[in-house]
Amino acid sequence: MKYLVLAAFIPSIATAGIDAVIDEHILPAHEAFTVATEELAIAAQADCRAEAVAPAYHEAFDAWMGVSHISFGPIETLGLAPAIAYWPDTKNSTGRHLDRLISVEDPIVEDVETFANVSVAARGFFALERLLYEEKYTGYEKGSYVCHLVQAISQDLATLAATLDAEWQDNFAQTLRTGGASGNETYFTEREALQAVFTSVVTGLEFNKDKRLGRPLGTFERPRPTRAEARRSGRSLRNVTLSLIALRDLNDALTDGAATQTQAAFDRAITHAETLDDPVFAGVADPSSRLKVEILQQAVTATGEAVRIEVGPMLGVSAGFNALDGD
């Protein structure tokens, strides 16, 4: 009897998980991202000046935080992530590529299709952020080259978002939903589909821990506040908070809300993030305020551990056997 119950229970939670992940998380988040980037493109077209575009830029970036952790599917197969968000940018590639485009007034900005051939470093949110917030571009005027560039990057983002959205709706939702079905060449079993989502949660948390928090933290002897993500537009902490919220939602959908320890860990981390008064992690250079960022990082680490320990066994999956071995 006991076995019967188990056998009936496990597959249902798994399929319910995938359907909820798709219908309640992935598809709505992509739709929201598409809408927000369309509005960004429209706003930039109407008035390209920084103060006019900034609100739509923030809305669109917020929406990106709702999808950026979904690292499998079309974003992976089409390799679109760097074109949307080129970060970390360890060699200032974004700055250099923008300088080059602007210095020669490269006409590539005139057509959205040709603009897709620009280096990924000069596309997406981080290129746009520079133009809107960096001092050297302050006060660019309507009709100027920078103005056209702002419009081109905004339109390109809308196109990228629409591409992802369409791919999910037309193809990949079905691929993820039918793991193990004959003809599914991406997920040969249902468990592989669950594994992809699970890995997304794990790597999303790691990205927050190692990159969004780890890069500005640097070491105690050498903190690196200027390495904070999106610090020019004051979004460093906001990105962590929104990303954690999106990851919590994804995890809840995946586990049908059954992973209570993981939920508690997410809640703790999100509460820390929401009460932290350090929008660009400038405090990492001061020992007392640094501690608060470290505590947030520890809370994110603990959440990752909870996912591995609780959610992995619940779904019968584990994070990469080889990916984590490192040899």
Verify binding: residue 195, other proteins, rule CB under 8 A. Answer: yes
Angle (deg, nearest 10), helices 27-46 and 145-167: 160
Of 16-24, 48-56, 62-70, 71-79: span binding other proteins (CB under 8 A): 71-79
Gap between the Cα atoms of 123 and 55, Å rounded = 19
Verify binding: residue 320, other proteins, rule CB under 8 A. Answer: yes
- The size of the chain, in residues, is 327
Verify binding: residue 222, other proteins, rule CB under 8 A. Answer: no
User: At its nearest, how many Å lie between other proteins and the CB of residue 14?
Assistant: 15
Verify binding: residue 199, other proteins, rule CB under 8 A. Answer: yes
Verify binding: residue 77, other proteins, rule CB under 8 A. Answer: yes
Verify binding: residue 88, other proteins, rule CB under 8 A. Answer: yes
**Which positions ≥6 away from 69 have C-beta within 8 Å?**
200, 201, 203, 204, 207, 243, 246, 247, 250
Contact, 142 vs 48, CB < 8 A? yes
Verify binding: residue 226, other proteins, rule CB under 8 A. Answer: no
Contact, 181 vs 280, CB < 8 A? no
Q: How many residues bind other proteins (CB under 8 A)?
A: 26
Verify binding: residue 3, other proteins, rule CB under 8 A. Answer: no
Verify binding: residue 326, other proteins, rule CB under 8 A. Answer: yes
Gap between the Cα atoms of 159 and 182, Å rounded = 33
User: At its nearest, how many Å lie between other proteins and the CB of residue 227?
Assistant: 11
Kindly report the CA angle at 236 between 233 and 240, in degrees rounded to 5? Answer: 140
Q: For other proteins, which is the closer residue by CB, 44 or 84? A: 84
Among 117, 183, 219, 321, binds other proteins (CB under 8 A): 321
**Which positions ≥6 away from 43 have C-beta within 8 Å?**
52, 53, 55, 56, 154
Verify binding: residue 188, other proteins, rule CB under 8 A. Answer: yes
Query: Which residues contact other proteins by CB under 8 A?
Result: 76-77, 79, 82, 88-91, 120, 185-186, 188-189, 191-192, 195-196, 199, 318, 320-323, 325-327
